[in-house]
Amino acid sequence: GPLEGLTIPLKVAAAVGFIGAQPVILQQVWSFVSPGLRPKERKFVWPFVLSALLLFLAGAAFAYLVMPIGLNFISNFLAGQAVYLPDLNQYLSFFLLLVIIFGVTFEMPVALVLLGLLGIISSNWLAKRRRGAYVMIIFVAFVVTPGADPFTPTALAIPLLLFYEASIQILKRVFHR
């Protein structure tokens, strides 16, 4: 398109700027929230923040590894019948969307453990609803992932199913103590 020469560098700059601003944003949020927390609550903040950050980065890295496989499937789908000419602007938008989707959905264990610590759910509650949760996780993975390939949603659903089981085990250990 005629504006791609301008929009592509702006998209890249916005993404890098947002990532680079995260330490300042997190510090401002912490400055606002920390006065309202009791000392007992403060000791839980850093493990949750660190695990949330690591899980988001793991999801982003996983999306980076999965994306070429999904794009390869899509580009070879019409093998010989069409010429595949990727558009850099759409490729960048697709990549950023995939990174955000994988990063955010990889936060599921943090949310489940936090809900467990707040007493809203328990490991037994999660275990009893395992079948429905599996169906919901697979459904959400197929709905939120862009593209038409079957590989990308499957690559998202498998780690989420493992994270669900890990959340059950973590809650069992936390409440066992």
Q: What is the pLDDT of residues 130-143, one digit of tens each?
A: 999 999 999 999 99
Residue with tokens 């250990």: 173
pLDDT value of position 176: 65
pLDDT value of position 76: 77
Q: Say how far apart CA 163 and CA 4 lie, in whole Å.
A: 39
Structure tokens of 146? Answer: 């862009």
Reported as a pLDDT band with limits 50, 70 and 90, residue 177 is low
**What's the burial of 82, exposed, middle or buried (CB within 10 Å: 0-12/13-18/19+)?**
exposed
Structure tokens of 100? Answer: 């955000």
pLDDT value of position 7: 83
Which pTM was predicted?
0.83
pLDDT at residue 169 is higher than 80: yes
Computed on alpha carbons and rounded to an integer, the radius of gyration of the chain in Å comes to 20
For the chain, what percent of residues have pLDDT higher than 70? Answer: 95
Three-class SS state of 22: helix
Q: Say how far apart CA 132 and CA 138 lie, in whole Å.
A: 10
